[in-house]
């Protein structure tokens, strides 16, 4: 079992929320197959991701999806936010959490949209990932614990 | 210039009603006018089937079958 702990202070107005490092790449078998025939793939970016229980899906910026050369599986996936309805693009990719010891997710549905305002993170980790974890927040110690 | 996966979305719309009766909530995989013969419970399984049938270097459509398009709320 992997366990990862990190601090989060929900009472600090400067704290953007419970965040961890996140890496997304093309589906891992694509990379192995492509590498075997001489294709090159970009080194994965390692942005910060916000753990968001309010999102049913993992969402990244469109820029990151394009840079990572993810596989497009649906060009118009509608979602509703507090600001109104919008269309996301849907991709499949592999997700990992560098430095955490948490296991990689080999193939995951990832939505992509423009992140206009928020600069503290480039991804939302949604309930599609959280359903794989036991995640708890201890309000007294202000520590988030993830067990897989 | 056509949008990515536009032709596949048209194929899906042609079959949407029938599939919504026979396989509601399942995932279907389409590349041009070729439809993977199985339906899938999970998106990840649908993707792997698409890779197996169409290869890793081609985009293909994965759609969950509903009568009308659901809109998920993101808070």
B6-23 tens-digit pLDDT: 999 999 999 999 999 999
What tens-digit pLDDT sequence spans chain A (148 residues)?
899 999 999 999 999 999 999 999 988 766 666 667 777 766 777 889 999 999 999 999 888 888 888 999 999 999 999 889 999 999 999 999 999 999 999 999 999 998 776 678 889 999 999 999 999 999 999 999 999 9
Asked if B5 and A34 come within 8 Å (Cβ–Cβ), the reply is no
Average pLDDT over chain B, rounded to an integer: 94
Q: From A127, A128, A123, select the one nearest A67 (Cα to Cα).
A: A123
Residue B75 lies in a domain: no
Nearest CA-CA distance, residue B31 and chain A, Å? 10
| B1 pLDDT more than 70 | no
- Structurally, chain B folds into a number of domains equal to 1
Residues of B in contact with A109 (CB under 8 A): 43-44
Full residue range of the structural domain in which residue A115 is found: 3-147
Residue B14 domain-assigned (yes or no): yes
> What is the pLDDT, as a whole number, of residue A140?
95
Three-state helix/strand/coil letters over chain A: CCEEEEECCCCCCCCCCCEEECEEECCHHHHHHHHHCCCCCCCCCCCEEEECCCCCCEEEEHHHHHHCCCEEEEEEEEEEECCEEEEEEEEEEEEECCCCCCCCEEEEEEEEECCCCCCCCCEEECHHHHCCCEEEEECCCCEEEEEC
How many structural domains comprise chain A? 1
Spatial distance between the Cα atoms of A119 and A134, rounded to a whole number of angstroms: 28
- A123-125 vs A134-138, strand pairing mode: unpaired
Q: What is the pTM of this model?
A: 0.90
In a domain, B49, yes or no: yes
Nearest Cα of chain A lies from the Cα of B29 at a distance, in angstroms, of: 9
Report which secondary-structure segment, H or E, holds B61.
strand B61-64
| ipTM metric | 0.93
A contacts of B75 (beta carbons < 8 Å) = 52, 54-55, 81-82
Residue B71 falls inside a structural domain: no
Three-state DSSP at B73 gives strand
Q: What percent of chain B has pLDDT over 90?
A: 88
Give the domain extent around B19. 6-64
């Amino acid at each position: 079992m992997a366990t990862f702990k990190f601090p989060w202070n929900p009472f600090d107005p400067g704290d953007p929320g419970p965040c961890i490092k996140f890496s997304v790449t093309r589906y891992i078998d694509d990379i192995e197959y492509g590498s075997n025939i001489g294709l090159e793939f970009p080194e994965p970016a390692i942005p910060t991701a916000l753990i968001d229980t309010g999102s049913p899906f993992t969402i990244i910026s469109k820029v990151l999806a394009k840079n990572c050369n993810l596989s497009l599986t649906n060009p118009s996936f509608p979602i509703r936010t507090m600001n109104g309805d919008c269309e996301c693009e849907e991709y499949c990719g592999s997700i990992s959490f560098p430095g955490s010891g948490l296991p990689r997710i080999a193939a995951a549905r990832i939505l992509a949209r423009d992140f206009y305002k928020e600069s503290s993170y480039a991804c939302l980790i949604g309930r599609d990932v959280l359903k794989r974890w036991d995640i708890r927040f201890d309000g007294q110690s202000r520590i988030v614990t993830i067990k897989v | 210039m056509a949008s990515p996966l536009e032709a596949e979305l048209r194929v899906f719309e042609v079959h949407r009603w029938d599939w919504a009766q026979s396989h509601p909530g399942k995932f279907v995989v389409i590349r041009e006018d070729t439809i993977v013969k199985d339906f899938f419970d999970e998106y990840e399984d649908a993707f792997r089937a698409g890779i197996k049938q169409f290869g890793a270097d081609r985009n293909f459509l994965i759609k969950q079958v509903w009568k009308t398009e659901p809109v998920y709320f993101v808070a």
